[in-house]
Structures are given as structure tokens and as C-alpha cells.
């Protein structure tokens, strides 16, 4: 899967706020920003803590486990590069650590997706630089 030169779908615009997150994902690690001042864990990786505004940010290893809060099955093209995959799922996963993340579920039929489903992170190397975190039933 690594280094697919022809990956046509949108990629993240990496910034100084989230480059450590993407660098970790590249190493197949799922990390979350954690405040060294107050202990708050948040996502996406803003440079500062939304709870206490401290810029003393550390990182904590996420378990990769979570549950499906909700899902939708995309049936109409919006993003052209996703059109060949229609119908595809998008899920909102509630991580064990608290934050919510969008993702796709793999290794499951769309008909079998349900709210409350327990899932775990998997890593998909889509380009030489970017690895996406997706989920599968756990």
C-alpha cells in the first residue's frame, strides 16, 4: 500500500500545529495532543490547549480504540476523486480518550455499520508522506 503515486483524493494541509501528528501517523502511531499544564486531551491538534490556553503541549499515545457515534453512506458525488468509491461510508468515532474523529470504516460492509460499534485504528499509507488513520471493527 505504501507510496501509491496515483493517490488522487484530498490530502491534509500539514501545518506547524499538526505536523507532529502526521509524522507520528507515518510511523503508524496514533498520538493526541495533551496539555502539560492541565492534562486536557484534544483533537484536532491545535497548537494550544482549548481548556486552559497553555501552549505547553505534549503528546499522548492513543489506544486507537473507540466506538462509532454515527455514520452516513455517501451516495452522491461531491468530491470527484471519491466518486469511484460510491457508495462509501463516513463515520464519526468517539475515541476512548474522548475526542471525536471523522474516518472511514474498513473491513466491513456498509450494511453492517451501526452506532455503538467498537472499532480500532488501522493505518493506511496513501503517499510517501501521508498515512491516514482509519478504523475497523475490533
Partner 1 sequence: MSDREFAGKTAIVGIGSTDFAQLYRSTDPERTGESLATEAIAAAIADAGLEKSQIDGLITGGLPHYEPVAYRTGLTDVRFVVDYPGAGRMCAMALMHAATAVHHGLADYVVLFNSVVFRSQGVKFGAQGQGLLYDTIYGMASPGAQYSLAFTRYQAEYGGTEEQLGAIPVAIRSHARMTPGAIMQQEMAIDDYLAARYIAQPLRLFDYCLINDGAVAYVVTTAERARDLAHPPVLIAGTAGRANFREWYVDLGFWDEACRSMKADLFDPLGVTTDDIDCLQVYDNFSVSVLWGLEGFGFAPQGQGLEWVQNGRIALGGELPINTSGGMLSESYLQGWNQHAEAVRQLRGQAGERQVPDCDWSLYWCLSALPGASLLCRDGLL
Is 9 among the residues that bind partner 1 (CB under 8 A)?
yes
Least separation in angstroms between CB 53 and partner 1: 16
| Of positions 28, 65, 82, 122, contacts partner 1 by CB under 8 A | 82
- With CB under 8 A as the contact rule, which of the stretches 9-17, 29-37, 58-66 interacts with partner 1? 9-17
Smallest CA-to-CA distance from 107 within 69, 134, 74 is with: 134
How many angstroms separate the CA atoms of 82 and 59, rounded?
32
Least separation in angstroms between CB 65 and partner 1: 18
Instruction: Outline where DSSP puts E strands in 2-130.
Output: 31-35, 57-61, 65-74, 88-95, 100-103, 118-125
**Residue at grid coordinates 473507540:** 66
Helix or strand or coil: residue 85?
helix
| Of positions 27, 84, 112, 116, contacts partner 1 by CB under 8 A | 116
Is 132 among the residues that bind partner 1 (CB under 8 A)?
yes
- With CB under 8 A as the contact rule, which of the stretches 32-40, 54-62, 65-73 interacts with partner 1? 65-73
- With CB under 8 A as the contact rule, which of the stretches 32-40, 59-67, 69-77 interacts with partner 1? 69-77
Helix or strand or coil: residue 50?
coil
Under 8 Å between Cβ of 70 and 91: yes
Task: Select 54 or 110, whichever has its Cβ closest to partner 1.
Answer: 110
Total Cβ atoms within 10 A of residue 128: 12
Binding-site ranges for partner 1 (CB under 8 A): 9-12, 43-44, 69-76, 78-80, 82, 85, 87-88, 90-92, 100-104, 114-116, 132, 134
Amino acid at each position: 500500500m505504501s507510496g501509491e503515486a496515483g493517490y488522487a483524493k484530498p490530502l491534509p494541509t500539514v501545518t506547524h500545529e499538526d505536523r507532529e501528528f502526521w509524522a507520528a501517523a507515518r510511523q503508524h502511531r496514533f498520538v493526541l495532543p495533551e496539555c502539560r499544564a492541565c492534562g486536557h486531551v484534544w483533537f484536532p491538534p491545535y497548537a494550544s490547549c482549548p481548556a486552559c490556553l497553555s501552549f505547553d503541549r505534549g503528546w499522548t499515545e492513543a489506544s486507537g480504540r473507540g466506538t462509532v457515534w454515527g455514520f452516513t453512506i455517501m451516495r452522491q458525488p461531491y468530491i470527484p476523486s471519491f466518486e469511484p468509491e460510491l457508495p462509501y461510508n463516513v463515520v464519526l468515532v468517539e475515541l476512548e480518550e474522548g475526542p471525536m474523529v471523522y474516518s472511514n470504516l474498513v473491513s466491513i460492509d456498509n450494511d453492517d455499520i451501526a452506532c455503538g460499534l467498537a472499532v480500532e485504528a488501522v493505518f493506511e499509507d496513501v503517499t510517501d508522506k501521508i498515512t491516514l488513520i482509519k478504523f475497523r471493527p475490533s
